[in-house]
Amino acid sequence: MYRMALFPGFFLLVGATAQAEDVWDEPIGWETSWTGESTVLIAPSEDESLLFRLNLGGEANHVLDSGLEIGAVAAFAVEQDHPQRAGFSGIVAAPLRPVIGVQGVFSGLGLSASSEDEGIRGSLETAYVYAQGGYGEIRIGRDAGIAKRFSEGAPSIFTTLSLGAPRLDPTGAAILRTDHDLTGPSAKISYATPRIVGLKAGLSFTPEANARGLDRDPARILPGMPAVSISNATEASVSFNHRFRSNGIRARAAAAWSRADVKAAPTAPSTYSDMTTWSAGGSLEWDGLVAGASWLQSDNGISGRPGDYSAWSAGLSKEALGLTWGLEYGEENDDAVGLDGESLQVGASKAFGESLAIGAGYRRNSLAPSRAGVAEKMLGSEGIVIEITLSR
């Protein structure tokens, strides 16, 4: 009952503040703006049948006489995700005999007899300053890494349930992600070039990946697991975005690489070392149809034993009969925990003006052991999902 009472309150908050946009007093020469988004996810067949997420953010910017734009951006988010899989990471498999738990550093997925029960969480997801001009953009502060920012892939009709970049998970069984989110909202410095003939490149460096973000929590210590940490994370990515006038096709693509130092507690049952991750993705859009795919491969920071994490997803969406129809499918494998996964979702969504969107569909996540001695956690697997999003 407590959770249910929160949802209408969040919608009222976003709706009421949307009417107050022009109340802000702006300093001379500075422009300010803000955004708000509230999402409720309903999954009638799951134990966690009601999940939610609220995002509030603001930006202030100023253009100097030289043409250089400077500014600051901040965003805060609150959510209720699946209690055993808050922020994607979590324990998804159990050993058939007592052993010290093991965790994939990139995937955040763990093998342990223990479990979690997370409640409502909040996080300062963004807080950075930037300067942007003819030579590109520099950001300093809490922000996603360049690999995450540039990532491309299959379209999704859902705001929080994209297979490749999940934000909420009503089943608790989703182990697929291809959005290359290595460091979450940890403090970093990033540089991105201007986009020239559709091409853009970027670099980012994160000294310590210690921010506990809602979608990526690299500092999280799972129960029954030795602590691991990520530092000196470097990311590089190339992005392409261009519309071909001859045929009207919009093409988007990105490829990224990252590496980071990994340290683990002396009690860790595995040897951890430098972590390397690669990813690529893209999409084509024409005549109301969008088709895309993405892929990711990481050594998960584990050496001396199987530990790689790999995932791919593909999907398409089509506007027809006043709705946007969508289909997504993907597969994943995490050698660290010894699981294979398969994910599918299909459905339709409709936007009512610029502020309200409703989507509904069928979602299935299947898990199976990929080696002996491992059993998957008894998490939810399939059912109908309904997503309601109010934004401005």
Reported as a single tens digit per residue, the pLDDT across 182-203 is 999 999 999 999 999 999 999 9
Domain for residue 379, yes or no?
yes
Give the contacts of 60 (CB within 8 A, at least 6 positions apart).
30, 31, 32, 71, 72
Average pLDDT over residues 274-282: 98
Domain for residue 43, yes or no?
no
Reply yes or no on whether the pLDDT at 268 is more than 70: yes
Task: Provide the residue count of the chain.
Answer: 392
Q: DSSP for 105-149?
A: TTT-EEE-S-------EEEEEEEEEEEEETTEEEEEEE---HHHH
Task: Give the pLDDT of residue 99.
Answer: 66
Least confident segment among 99-108, 116-125, 167-176, 213-222: 99-108
**pLDDT tens, residue by residue, 311-331:** 999 999 999 999 999 999 999
Domain for residue 144, yes or no?
yes
Indicate the burial class of 379 (C-beta count within 10 angstroms; 0-12, 13-18, 19 or more): buried
Rounded to two decimals, what is the model's pTM? 0.89
Q: What is the CATH number of the domain that holds 128?
A: 2.40.160.10
Q: Count of domains in the chain?
A: 1
Domain for residue 48, yes or no?
no
User: If you average pLDDT over every residue of the chain, what do you get?
Assistant: 90
Domain for residue 245, yes or no?
yes
Using pLDDT thresholds of 50, 70 and 90, give the confidence band for residue 22: very low
Domain for residue 351, yes or no?
yes
Using pLDDT thresholds of 50, 70 and 90, give the confidence band for residue 112: confident
Quote the domain boundaries for residue 364. 2-23+33-38+57-391
Q: Which of 333, 336, 342, 334 is nearest to 305 (CA)?
A: 336
Task: Give the pLDDT of residue 221.
Answer: 84
Least confident segment among 14-28, 106-120, 121-135, 273-287: 14-28
Domain for residue 183, yes or no?
yes
Domain for residue 318, yes or no?
yes
